[in-house]
Amino acid sequence: MKIHEYQAKNILNNHGVPVPQGEVVNTYSEAVEVAERLGGKVVVKAQVHAGGRGKAGGVKLVYSSNDAGEVCNSLLNSNLVTIQTGPDGVPVDKVLIEEIIDVQKELYVAFTIDGVKKNIVAIVSEFGGMEIEEVAQNNPDKVLTLEIDSSLGASPYKARKLANFLNIDAKLIRSAASVISSLYDVFVANDCSLVEINPLVITGDGRILAADAKITIDDDALFRHPDLFEFYDPAQEDPFEKQAAEFGISYVKLDGDIGCLVNGAGLAMATMDVTRSSGASPANFLDVGGGADESKVSEALKIILLDEKVKKIFINIFGGILKCDIVARGILDASRNIDREFPELVVRMLGTNFDEGREILMKSDLNISLVNDLREASDSLKSD
Ligand code: GDP
Ligand code: MN
């Protein structure tokens, strides 16, 4: 679960990581009031669950409290489109008004999970700011990634090693190292999958401040953090993904045109690989789950078909607890309850009650290619 910058900064503040003074608002008059209190010159920052706001006009420096109000108004109730959002962008319901800080240097510091290393890693660079992706691409030697041994934590030695890499004034190493260990504490204490400070700013007067903060909490650990769950902001979620979550279906929207309905996350990943290697492109990841019933299969198909780009659906089921006849009945149910024309289905089923499922599908008047294996499936996906 992603949380907003202002919420992340609260957490940082509670762990002793310095952040700029500021307040979150959602009206013109509040914006003016807060800006006045901060001395008039402020940064106005759209609060959305996406990075790249600076380049998209979502972060603006203003020099009077009235301008703060105006910028706030133009951001509120608009959709901000950044490089990390879809073409429709995400709604801005709140803006953060902060003191302008005197930025001398922008650093990058992040903690995340490296799935290959099966470990927490720290990633730091002295070239933080809005071009960090290019730095990672073109000057990878300017980015240091260190594994953190979770039994030792961000030990003083590791924290200092990371701070030293930042090429900052020797006087600042200690406080940079202390900020780095506090960020690790934030990561662990909140079961995060990402804590990213970009930029971590060195100011003209030698202070270190987190000018931006992105925190993602591991969904599977949320039950341990009821206080964090209050930060859930459904307005920032993809509407299709939100609807899927309500039915307990794991769905991730992608930009291809082959809808995928699968049981099991691993099989769903493999199904997307097969789709891609056939030259087609998946419209989504979808795991309907092991214990799905007829209505869940039907809902999954309806969600897949909310995406107007979908022109074919690849159903790949390994029938175990989820029986093939249940899947077939779910397909029929969806076809009866959907407004748009039902596209061609490429169905590969195996396992429990296969014969019954197959018969149901063969008797229907749907456009179905029932295939025996993934090679045949791949050929059917390829064929136009
Ligand atoms: P992002 O583009 O979504 O990552 O938004 P950021 O919060 O990182 O803001 C983008 C950029 O705005 C930063 O990299 C800074 O260069 C700039 N910025 C943000 N706050 C301040 C500030 O208080 N003073 C100055 N001079 N620049 C700021
Ligand atoms: Mn940033």
Pocket test for ligand 1, best of 103, 104, 134 (most atoms within 8 A of CB): 103
Residue ranges for the chain with pLDDT beneath 70: 383-384
Rounded-to-integer distance, Cα 64 and Cα 43, Å: 10
Token pair listed for 378: 């791949």
Residue 286's alpha-carbon distances to 67, 103, 156, 248, 304, in angstroms, are 45, 44, 43, 11, 8
Is-contact 294 330, C-beta < 8 A? yes
Ligand 1 contact via 94 beta carbon (within 6 Å): no
Q: Which domains are seen in the chain, by residue range? A: 21-99 (3.30.1490.20), 103-229 (3.30.470.20), 239-381 (3.40.50.261)
3-state DSSP assignment of residue 41: coil
Tell me the CA–centroid distance for residue 212 and ligand 2, in Å: 5
63 assigned to active site: no
Q: Which of 108, 184, 251, 299 is catalytic?
A: 108
Tell me the CA–centroid distance for residue 199 and ligand 2, in Å: 6
Ligand 1 contact via 43 beta carbon (within 6 Å): yes
Amino acid at 356: E
For every residue of 68-98, which 3-state class applies, written as one string?
HHHHHHHHCCCEECCCCCCCCCEECCCEEEE
28 assigned to active site: no
Amino acid at 174: R
Q: Nearest to residue 19, comparing CAs of 162, 179, 181? A: 179
Residues 153-167 pLDDT 10s: 888 899 999 999 999
Q: Nearest to residue 51, comparing CAs of 102, 90, 96? A: 90
Tell me the CA–centroid distance for residue 110 and ligand 2, in Å: 11
Ligand 1 contact via 100 beta carbon (within 6 Å): yes
Is-contact 192 219, C-beta < 8 A? no
List Cβ neighbours of 312 (8 Å cut-off, separation of 6 or more).
257, 258, 259, 280, 343, 344, 345, 346, 381
Q: Relative to the CA of 103, which ligand 1 atom is closest? A: 26
Rounded-to-integer distance, Cα 275 and Cα 199, Å: 39
Ligand 1 contact via 103 beta carbon (within 6 Å): yes
Q: Which helix (H) or strand (E) holds 144?
A: strand 143-148
DSSP 334-384: HHHT-SSPP-EEEEEEEETTHHHHHHHHHHS-S-EEEESSHHHHHHHHH--
**Cis amide linkage into residue 239, ω under 30° from 0:** no
Ligand nearest to the CA of 53: 1
Is-contact 333 298, C-beta < 8 A? yes
Residue 35's alpha-carbon distances to 73, 209, 291, in angstroms, are 14, 19, 53
Task: Report which protein residue has its CA nearest ligand 1's atom 15.
Answer: 129
Look at strands 119-125 and 103-114 and give their pairing: antiparallel
Amino acid 384: pLDDT: 60
**How would you class 185 by CB atoms within 10 Å of its CB: exposed for 0-12, middle for 13-18, buried for 19 or more?**
middle
Alpha helix positions (H), the chain = 5-14, 28-37, 65-75, 132-138, 156-165, 173-189, 226-229, 239-246, 265-277, 294-306, 324-336, 354-363, 374-382
Q: Does the CA dihedral 350-353-359-360 come out positive or negative?
A: negative
3-state DSSP assignment of residue 159: helix
Tell me the CA–centroid distance for residue 79 and ligand 1, in Å: 19
Tell me the CA–centroid distance for residue 130 and ligand 2, in Å: 6
Ligand 1 contact via 53 beta carbon (within 6 Å): yes
Ligand 1 contact via 203 beta carbon (within 6 Å): no
Tell me the CA–centroid distance for residue 108 and ligand 2, in Å: 9
Ligand 1 contact via 221 beta carbon (within 6 Å): no
Is-contact 55 83, C-beta < 8 A? yes
Amino acid 383: pLDDT: 61
Task: Report which protein residue has its CA nearest ligand 1's atom 2.
Answer: 54
Q: Which of 196, 251, 294, 299 is catalytic?
A: 196
Is-contact 320 288, C-beta < 8 A? no
Rounded-to-integer distance, Cα 273 and Cα 163, Å: 40
Token pair listed for 261: 């309905």
First to last CA, the chain: 38
